[in-house]
Amino acid sequence: MSAPDFQAFQQAFARHIRDPHHTPRPAGVPARRMAVYNELLFNNITGFLDACFPVCRKLIGETRWRRLNRAFYRDWRSHTPWFREIPREFIRYLNEGVIRQPLPAWFAELAHYEWAELAVDTMDCPIPGHDPAGDLMRQPVVLNPARLVLACVWPVHRIGPEYRPRKPQTTQLVVYRDADERVRFVAINPVTARLLGMLATAPTTGIEACLQICVELHHSDPQQLLVFGRGILDDFRAQGLILGTQR
């Protein structure tokens, strides 16, 4: 059974809104009125994108940015009903969509980095029970659940109008929401990233995590790693990335 006429109208209308310059205006719709919708709907989308990606926008310039916004609206099908997830759909488009427009090699990672702030700011995750003063070396460590780890090929946190990297430089960042509900970014080295990864996957004490890393690195001096680990864990607790230990 074919779709009813009213849906044929809806499909034609939607096609035109997505790509007003290359698809015909639906029959029987005046140009002036159609233009209202074309403008309202595209402005609505660009409002969400502009708010989330100010650095991306600035770095490729207004014309290229708008062309990319339009290609996103035209080619990508967003299935999320939540407006705040429009930027996440844009990230997915950058990673999975077919984009003909040439973009800097670091562009998708920079966008992901900018989106992480919004994502962590609004992340819905209950705070698990914990002892804020517990011994991080001897008790299983409780991480702040409102966090994302970004593993990037490019130094995204340094990219700006003054710095457009030419060579990749592996970069790991933790983005988290502290007790004052502020979003923080911390650049971490691969060993620290591994440490956090272990604490995140299973209940692990600081000592267990450090000794495991000692094995993985074929390190000859476990004592040195334990001192190093304790320092990092204490810093992370002070910064709010670690909440404490399991009760």
* Binding stretches for another protein (CB under 8 A): 3-7, 9-11, 13-15, 17-18, 26-30, 32-34, 36-37, 40-41, 44-45, 76-84, 86, 121-125, 146, 177, 181
Q: Which of 178, 180, 195 is nearest to 232 (CA)?
A: 195
How near is the Cβ of 80 to another protein at its closest, in Å?
7
Nearer to another protein, 5 or 62 (CB): 5
Q: Tell me how crowded residue 232 is: count the other CB atoms within 10 A of its CB.
A: 20
CB of 28 to another protein, least distance (A): 3
Q: Which residues are CB-neighbours of 190 under 8 A, at least 6 positions away?
A: 170, 172
**Closer Cβ to another protein, 67 or 84, answer by number:** 84
Across 89-98, b (16+ Cβ under 10 Å) vs e yields bbbebbeeee
Least Å from the CB of residue 230 to another protein: 30
> Is 61 or 81 the residue whose CB approaches another protein more closely?
81
Query: C-beta of 22: minimal distance to another protein in Å?
Result: 16
**Between 27 and 215, whose beta carbon lies closer to another protein?**
27
Q: Which is nearer to another protein, 14 or 227 (CB)?
A: 14
Question: Minimum distance between the CB of residue 181 and another protein, rounded to whole angstroms?
Answer: 4
In 3D space, the residue among 187, 211, 188, 185 whose CA is nearest the CA of residue 198 turns out to be 211
Separation in Å, CA 145 to CA 234, 239, 247:
17, 14, 16
- Give the residue among 207, 239, 245, 236 at the shortest CA–CA distance from 128: 245
